[in-house]
Amino acid sequence: MEARRHNRGPVATSVENICRDGNFIHAFCTSVILLNQSHHRLLMIGLLQRVTHAEVRVADRQVGAIGTGLLVLVGVERGDSEVQADRLLERLCTYRVFPDTEGRMNRSLQEIGGQLLLVSQFTLAADTRSGTRPGFSPAAAPDEGRRLFDYLVERARVRLGAVQTGEFGASMQVSLTNDGPVTFWLQVPPEGSGKG
Protein backbone atom coordinates (compact mmCIF):
# COMPACT_ATOMS: atom_id res chain seq x y z
CA MET A 1 0.00 0.00 0.00
CA GLU A 2 1.41 3.40 -1.00
CA ALA A 3 0.37 6.67 0.63
CA ARG A 4 -1.09 9.42 -1.58
CA ARG A 5 1.63 11.85 -2.64
CA HIS A 6 -0.14 15.21 -2.98
CA ASN A 7 -0.13 17.79 -0.16
CA ARG A 8 2.70 15.97 1.58
CA GLY A 9 3.74 17.25 4.99
CA PRO A 10 5.88 15.64 7.73
CA VAL A 11 3.05 13.28 8.66
CA ALA A 12 2.37 12.20 5.07
CA THR A 13 6.07 11.65 4.43
CA SER A 14 6.41 9.43 7.51
CA VAL A 15 3.37 7.41 6.52
CA GLU A 16 4.65 6.95 2.98
CA ASN A 17 8.07 5.77 4.08
CA ILE A 18 6.68 3.24 6.55
CA CYS A 19 3.97 2.01 4.20
CA ARG A 20 6.63 1.02 1.68
CA ASP A 21 7.65 -1.63 4.20
CA GLY A 22 4.09 -2.88 4.27
CA ASN A 23 3.52 -1.98 7.94
CA PHE A 24 0.25 -0.05 7.70
CA ILE A 25 -0.63 -0.26 11.42
CA HIS A 26 2.73 1.20 12.40
CA ALA A 27 2.29 3.89 9.77
CA PHE A 28 -1.14 4.85 11.10
CA CYS A 29 0.05 5.08 14.71
CA THR A 30 3.05 7.17 13.69
CA SER A 31 0.87 9.59 11.74
CA VAL A 32 -1.45 10.08 14.74
CA ILE A 33 1.49 10.77 17.09
CA LEU A 34 3.07 13.29 14.72
CA LEU A 35 -0.26 14.98 14.07
CA ASN A 36 -0.87 15.39 17.81
CA GLN A 37 2.61 16.80 18.29
CA SER A 38 2.15 19.29 15.49
CA HIS A 39 -1.11 20.53 17.05
CA HIS A 40 0.32 20.87 20.58
CA ARG A 41 1.55 24.45 20.25
CA LEU A 42 2.87 26.40 23.21
CA LEU A 43 0.58 29.26 24.20
CA MET A 44 0.47 31.99 26.83
CA ILE A 45 -2.74 31.46 28.80
CA GLY A 46 -5.14 33.88 30.46
CA LEU A 47 -8.09 32.47 32.40
CA LEU A 48 -10.39 35.48 32.49
CA GLN A 49 -13.24 35.82 35.01
CA ARG A 50 -15.71 38.69 35.12
CA VAL A 51 -16.10 39.69 38.75
CA THR A 52 -17.84 42.15 41.04
CA HIS A 53 -15.15 41.56 43.67
CA ALA A 54 -11.90 39.62 43.91
CA GLU A 55 -8.97 39.55 46.29
CA VAL A 56 -5.70 37.72 46.87
CA ARG A 57 -4.27 37.00 50.30
CA VAL A 58 -0.88 35.64 51.33
CA ALA A 59 -0.56 34.42 54.93
CA ASP A 60 -3.68 36.38 55.98
CA ARG A 61 -2.31 39.54 54.34
CA GLN A 62 -4.27 41.09 51.48
CA VAL A 63 -1.92 41.72 48.57
CA GLY A 64 -4.42 42.66 45.87
CA ALA A 65 -8.13 43.41 45.52
CA ILE A 66 -10.55 44.84 42.94
CA GLY A 67 -14.21 45.65 42.52
CA THR A 68 -15.96 45.34 39.16
CA GLY A 69 -13.55 44.12 36.51
CA LEU A 70 -11.50 41.09 35.54
CA LEU A 71 -9.59 38.57 37.59
CA VAL A 72 -7.11 36.92 35.24
CA LEU A 73 -5.05 33.86 36.10
CA VAL A 74 -1.93 33.87 33.90
CA GLY A 75 0.02 30.81 32.79
CA VAL A 76 3.35 31.23 31.00
CA GLU A 77 4.68 28.37 28.87
CA ARG A 78 8.11 27.56 27.49
CA GLY A 79 8.78 29.59 24.37
CA ASP A 80 6.52 32.49 25.34
CA SER A 81 7.91 36.00 24.96
CA GLU A 82 6.98 39.66 25.21
CA VAL A 83 5.10 39.24 21.93
CA GLN A 84 2.60 36.88 23.54
CA ALA A 85 2.38 39.06 26.67
CA ASP A 86 1.56 42.15 24.61
CA ARG A 87 -1.06 40.28 22.60
CA LEU A 88 -2.63 38.80 25.73
CA LEU A 89 -2.88 42.25 27.31
CA GLU A 90 -4.50 43.62 24.16
CA ARG A 91 -7.13 40.90 24.30
CA LEU A 92 -7.75 41.35 28.03
CA CYS A 93 -8.33 45.07 27.58
CA THR A 94 -10.60 44.79 24.55
CA TYR A 95 -12.37 41.43 25.00
CA ARG A 96 -16.10 42.17 25.14
CA VAL A 97 -17.41 40.43 28.26
CA PHE A 98 -19.37 43.22 29.99
CA PRO A 99 -23.05 43.92 29.24
CA ASP A 100 -24.33 46.84 27.21
CA THR A 101 -27.67 48.54 27.85
CA GLU A 102 -29.46 45.57 26.29
CA GLY A 103 -27.67 43.03 28.45
CA ARG A 104 -25.44 41.72 25.66
CA MET A 105 -21.73 41.11 26.21
CA ASN A 106 -20.64 44.00 24.05
CA ARG A 107 -18.31 46.11 26.19
CA SER A 108 -14.69 45.64 27.18
CA LEU A 109 -12.77 46.24 30.39
CA GLN A 110 -11.30 49.37 28.85
CA GLU A 111 -14.71 50.69 27.79
CA ILE A 112 -16.30 50.37 31.24
CA GLY A 113 -13.23 51.59 33.12
CA GLY A 114 -13.10 48.31 35.04
CA GLN A 115 -10.33 47.07 37.31
CA LEU A 116 -7.80 44.34 36.62
CA LEU A 117 -6.29 41.76 38.98
CA LEU A 118 -3.51 39.61 37.50
CA VAL A 119 -2.46 36.43 39.32
CA SER A 120 0.29 34.09 38.13
CA GLN A 121 -0.71 30.41 38.02
CA PHE A 122 1.79 27.99 36.52
CA THR A 123 -0.62 25.04 36.87
CA LEU A 124 -2.55 26.40 33.86
CA ALA A 125 0.33 25.14 31.71
CA ALA A 126 0.02 21.57 33.00
CA ASP A 127 -0.08 18.64 30.58
CA THR A 128 -3.24 16.72 31.56
CA ARG A 129 -3.65 14.60 28.44
CA SER A 130 -3.06 11.29 30.21
CA GLY A 131 -2.69 9.69 33.62
CA THR A 132 -3.92 10.90 36.97
CA ARG A 133 -1.12 13.32 37.79
CA PRO A 134 -0.44 16.57 35.91
CA GLY A 135 2.91 17.16 34.27
CA PHE A 136 4.44 20.62 34.27
CA SER A 137 7.12 20.34 31.60
CA PRO A 138 5.23 22.80 29.30
CA ALA A 139 5.46 25.54 31.94
CA ALA A 140 8.16 28.19 31.70
CA ALA A 141 11.05 28.02 34.14
CA PRO A 142 10.31 30.07 37.29
CA ASP A 143 12.73 32.89 36.46
CA GLU A 144 11.36 33.23 32.93
CA GLY A 145 7.77 32.96 34.15
CA ARG A 146 8.39 35.75 36.67
CA ARG A 147 10.08 37.95 34.07
CA LEU A 148 7.21 37.68 31.60
CA PHE A 149 4.53 38.04 34.28
CA ASP A 150 6.24 41.19 35.59
CA TYR A 151 6.46 42.48 32.02
CA LEU A 152 2.72 41.87 31.54
CA VAL A 153 1.93 43.73 34.77
CA GLU A 154 4.19 46.66 33.83
CA ARG A 155 2.58 47.01 30.39
CA ALA A 156 -0.90 46.72 31.90
CA ARG A 157 -0.15 49.57 34.32
CA VAL A 158 1.07 51.75 31.47
CA ARG A 159 -2.17 51.14 29.63
CA LEU A 160 -4.72 51.02 32.44
CA GLY A 161 -3.16 52.79 35.40
CA ALA A 162 -3.61 50.96 38.69
CA VAL A 163 -3.44 47.17 38.26
CA GLN A 164 -3.61 44.76 41.19
CA THR A 165 -1.60 41.53 41.36
CA GLY A 166 -0.98 38.46 43.42
CA GLU A 167 2.48 37.52 44.66
CA PHE A 168 4.50 35.46 42.20
CA GLY A 169 5.50 32.05 43.55
CA ALA A 170 3.67 32.46 46.86
CA SER A 171 0.95 30.25 48.30
CA MET A 172 -2.06 32.46 47.63
CA GLN A 173 -5.70 32.34 48.64
CA VAL A 174 -7.84 33.80 45.87
CA SER A 175 -11.49 34.64 46.46
CA LEU A 176 -13.93 36.15 44.00
CA THR A 177 -17.53 36.78 43.13
CA ASN A 178 -17.89 35.68 39.53
CA ASP A 179 -20.53 37.81 37.83
CA GLY A 180 -22.65 35.61 35.56
CA PRO A 181 -20.74 33.38 35.93
CA VAL A 182 -18.59 34.52 33.01
CA THR A 183 -15.26 32.77 32.43
CA PHE A 184 -13.13 32.57 29.28
CA TRP A 185 -9.90 30.73 28.48
CA LEU A 186 -7.77 33.00 26.29
CA GLN A 187 -4.66 31.72 24.56
CA VAL A 188 -2.05 33.59 22.56
CA PRO A 189 -0.19 31.45 19.99
CA PRO A 190 3.53 31.58 19.29
CA GLU A 191 5.05 34.12 16.93
CA GLY A 192 4.68 33.19 13.28
CA SER A 193 1.69 30.85 13.80
CA GLY A 194 -0.70 33.17 11.96
CA LYS A 195 -3.28 32.92 14.76
CA GLY A 196 -4.38 35.03 17.70
Catalytic residues: 121-123
DSSP state of 22: T
DSSP state of 155: H
Q: 64 and 117 in contact (C-beta within 8 Å)? A: yes
CA distance 84 to 111: 23
Q: Is 185 exposed, middle or buried (0-12, 13-18, 19+ CB in 10 A)?
A: exposed
Mark residue 113 as left, alpha or beta (left: phi above 0; alpha: psi -120 to 50; beta: remaining).
Answer: left
